[in-house]
Every structure is written in C-alpha cells, then in structure tokens.
Structure 1
C-alpha cells in the first residue's frame, strides 16, 4: 500500500504563527497556488480512496487538487485542539496564560489545555486511524490533513516514540509517501511542494 499524505495549503493563521488546530480557516492565495501545484503532480496517480480532515483548509486543498466527490472525512485526521490557546502565538500564550503555559512546558505530552486535548490524546486518535487503514486492501490512498497529524504519523511509524515529533517539519503543500509492506510501515519519501518534479 502507498499512502500519500498532503499537508493543506498555507492559511493566514500559518502566516501569523498561531496555534489554530480547531479553528476553521481558509487558504491564502499562496495556499491555493500550492494546491494547484500539487494538482499537477497528484493527477498522475490513481487512488483507491481519499481521506480528509473535517477542516475547511484540508477540504479546499483537495478540491483545488481536483477531488470533490467520494471523499471520506474522518475527525481523527483533524489537527490537535489547543483549547484556550487557539488563535494565539507561542508568546501570546505565555503572556495570557502563565500557569497553563508553565504546566504545558513541564509536560508537553500529557498536559491538556483547558477545552483542548493533550498531545497523547491527539496521538492516540491518529494512531487509531492508521491502524484501521493498514488492514484494508488498498494500493494507493490519499490523505489531506495537517502538519501535526503528519508528524504524529511519523512518530507512530518510528515505534511510537513521541519525542520524534520534534525531529521533523511538515510544511504547507508538502507530500509524504509512506509504504506499508509485509505488515511494516516506512517513510519512502518526503517531497517539499516546490521540488516535486
């Protein structure tokens, strides 16, 4: 099985460098251009199934790529919900929520922001999705999702070591190809959006 992970195109919140997992925002013009570029590359492939986050930015990216029907939306592919930290930068969180920020820094995996979810909870729902699809008879699947989800999938592939989350980037418009062969996942390639040819 070949799994193609696509991170959605750029958003205004990306430009502001905020935490915005549960916010439902649209793409910038640059984000739309990133999706158009992906369309040229991914149109060469045939997919047995296409999965998507429920968020507008992921769905719009898929639509621009050329997929509007027969898309399976799955909440497990949504970005992490940062609760009261949503829409704020790292420094703004530190200024507005001193105690919460301190607790988060002490335990980044286990701490749950008020009204949000912990990294462990987030990771476990992403893990459930991956373990569900590995039992399917697919040749090629496409998944449009978020940077945090993609990096959580990397952690899963790397023996569930959550510390690997910080060892990878996932930029807007990037494509990762993962293979599942002989009951084994591995990262085949990570293709930045500006160097896919």
Structure 2
C-alpha cells in the first residue's frame, strides 16, 4: 500500500459559529478559501494518484481548490461528517437547554449514541474505514478531503485499532495528516500539517 493523505475541509460559517452541523451543508468562509489555498501549496510536496471527497459543499470546494494535480475529484456520501440527528444546527448551550437527558447519554455512551435520529461514532468509523480500505491499493497514494469526525475515526482505527484515539488527534481546518503503509503496517508520518498556528 502507499500513502493515505487526509485533509479536513476549510472553515465554514457554522464551523466558525460553534454549531453542530454534521450533515448540514454550509459553504466555506473567505478564511476557509484561504486555508484551502495554503493547503494546496503544502500538498505540492505530496504525490497522490486519486482524490476522494465528501459530497458536502465545504469539503467539495476545499478539494477543488487544493487539487494541484488537477485530477478528477470523486465525490461520495460515505465520507460525510457524522449525522448529529437532533443536535444538528444547534450550539452546545442550546443542546444542554433543549436536550439535557440526551446530552448526558451522549457524554456517557459517545461511541454508540446515535443522536436519536442520526448515527453513532462507531457507525461513522465503520462506513469511512470501509470506504478507505476499498480504495487503498499497492503503491497507490490517495488523497481524502473530509471532516473532523471522519479523519479522527480513520486515524483512530489505524493507530489505535478502534475508537480509543478518536478525541486525541488535532485536526484543524485544512490540517493535513499522512499515513504511510509500510508492508501494510500504518505509520503516521504527519499530523495537522499546516493546521492552526500556535
């Protein structure tokens, strides 16, 4: 297998405003467009043979901007962000006020809680990892432009064998992570490259 390059989409309005918006479909902000252009310059140092992207507009537009090889951008709903169900479109404070029991259940059982009408993190990991594994081939490098949840599910799967690492990876807007598969063994070569500057 070759390299798996993961890029989070640029900033969107709902992202900026702290809203749970998994499968809602806002556009990039001006800052998000700038972040994608900066990521494009960083990605010039990386080869990729194929580019796959979530079909949500913030990821799609990010991919089109940073695709320096000008390959066909292949869209799929399987790389969409987590469906937050009843939490979609709400700020955390609104969730606490409107759904206190559900919020407590989410915190207690975050791996399997399905947000009443959404999906669980475990289900998100299953669909995103299954998609990635279908695309990984010997000596082929793939670029994936997706979302925080998708990227952290993939990183956690390959680096911890489950969901134990889900909350432990920095994945800023347009941050780049690189996994190199050496004899099918995943090695993290980079994390959050070009992400938030401290």
- TM-score of the two chains, using structure 1 as the length reference: 0.91
Q: Name the structure with the higher helix share.
A: 1
Which is worse superposed, 106-115 or 39-48? 39-48
Local SS of the residue matching 1:52: strand
TM superposition shift of 1:33: 0.4
- Indicate how the Cα distance of structure 1 residues 195 and 86 shifts in structure 2: closer, same or farther if over 3 A, else same: closer
Residue 126 (str. 1) matches residue 94 (str. 2): no
TM superposition shift of 1:38: 1.4
Local SS of the residue matching 1:166: coil
Which stretches in structure 1 are left out of the alignment for 5+ residues?
A: none
- TM-score of the two chains, using structure 2 as the length reference: 0.90
Q: Distance in 2 between matches of 1:191 and 1:113?
A: 28
Q: Please, what is the CA RMSD of the aligned residues? A: 1.9
Q: Distance in 2 between matches of 1:96 and 1:139?
A: 47
| 2:55 aligned partner | 54
| 2:72 aligned partner | 70
Q: Distance in 2 between matches of 1:105 and 1:56?
A: 29
Local SS of the residue matching 2:167: helix
The ranges of structure 1 where at least 4 consecutive aligned residues each deviate by more than 4 angstroms after the TM superposition are none
TM superposition shift of 1:97: 1.0
Contact 2:63 / 2:73 at 8 angstroms: preserved in 1? no
| 1:110 aligned partner | 112
CA deviation string 1:133-182 (max 9, x = no partner): 23x23432111111111110111012323121111121001011111121
Number of equivalent positions: 195
Which stretches in structure 2 are left out of the alignment for 5+ residues?
A: none
TM superposition shift of 1:45: 3.7
TM superposition shift of 1:99: 2.2
